[in-house]
Amino acid sequence: MKYTNLQKLILEQQNKVGKRPGSGVYVQYEAIVRNQTNLTNKELEMVNKGMKFLPKGFHFDFIWTDGMKSARFMEMSDLYDAHPHVVNSMIYTALDNKVKPGKSQGQIYHRLDTMVSPSHPSYGFHKRISDYELRAGLLGPKQPKGIGWLKVWKTWIEENGIPYDEYLETVESFK
């Protein structure tokens, strides 16, 4: 099948990732390297500036940036966890052109299919989780604030009639 230039552009954009809650964007570093993000030039510049100041050998999986003031470089728990959490991070601030250690408060991350590179081995796993959670009504306009906290997430799942152990069994089956 032959595609027009517009169709090619649309298909290319559909394969771009970058989760945009609020004023910033979360994205996996691999997606940046592979040019699979929807980051703006300002956001990419902020990431590149911040990387210059990271301690030698610092490993990170994900980045959050607002493209203006700061970028957070995050090492995540296992990307094959249903909802990984930050185990270590560094924050670059443009104002003072420095990096400082970030705080890890145990938040969990949802919709990783919007953040992980489509070519990463965990992408399909996270896509299946997101599709399941959307169908089950766990994500969307009715979700409560604070689902980034495991306690709130567990309560929300149970309130929707899904025992948490059953939920875990279901998402584990997506591997």
Instruction: Spell out the domain ranges in the chain.
Output: 13-101, 112-172
Q: How many CB atoms lie within 10 A of CB 103?
A: 8
H or E stretch including 130?
A: helix 123-135
| pLDDT tens digit at each of 175 positions of the chain | 565 655 444 444 456 889 988 889 999 999 999 989 989 899 999 999 999 999 999 999 999 999 999 999 999 999 999 999 999 999 999 999 999 999 888 889 999 999 999 889 999 999 999 999 999 999 998 999 999 999 999 999 999 999 999 999 999 999 9
pTM for the complete prediction? 0.85
- CA 41 – CA 107 distance, rounded (Å): 28
Query: Residue 104: what pLDDT?
Result: 82
